[in-house]
Amino acid sequence: MTYEVRRDGSGVRLLPEGEVDMHVAPELRKVLSKIVAEKPYLLIVDLEKVPFVDSSGIATIVEALKLLRQGAGSLRVENCQETVRDTFDIAGLTKILGIP
């Protein structure tokens, strides 16, 4: 997995690229932990270049959401490919993560 982090005012956009599975989730967790420690008002996880997310990737994103909410921040997932959106939908998380 590669990623880019963009900061804009009080928000942060994370743009990972590649599959997010159990092998990549620990790296994603480290990246998200660093961002969460900055206490952004909004963290957007832009999944445009992510063709696959498994349950460990979903759990990692939900963990970041919970941590941000403790500090009055929020997390939104954007630009999901159809298969990734379907995975979040099956998990019942599309509304919670702001996925259209």
Residues 6+ apart with CB under 8 A from 50: 16, 17, 18, 19, 20, 80, 81, 84
Mean of all residue pLDDT scores within the chain: 96
Non-local CB neighbours of 92 within 8 Å, separated by 6+ positions: none
Q: What is the CA radius of gyration of the chain?
A: 12
Q: Dihedral of the CA atoms 19, 32, 26, 47 (nearest 10)?
A: -10
Q: What per-residue confidence (pLDDT) applies to 2? A: 97
Q: Domains plus CATH for the chain? A: 2-90 (3.30.750.24)
pLDDT at site 9: 84
Question: pTM of this prediction?
Answer: 0.95
Full pLDDT tens readout for the chain, 100 residues: 999 999 998 899 999 999 999 999 999 999 999 999 999 999 999 999 999 999 999 999 999 999 999 989 999 999 999 999 999 999 999 999 999 8
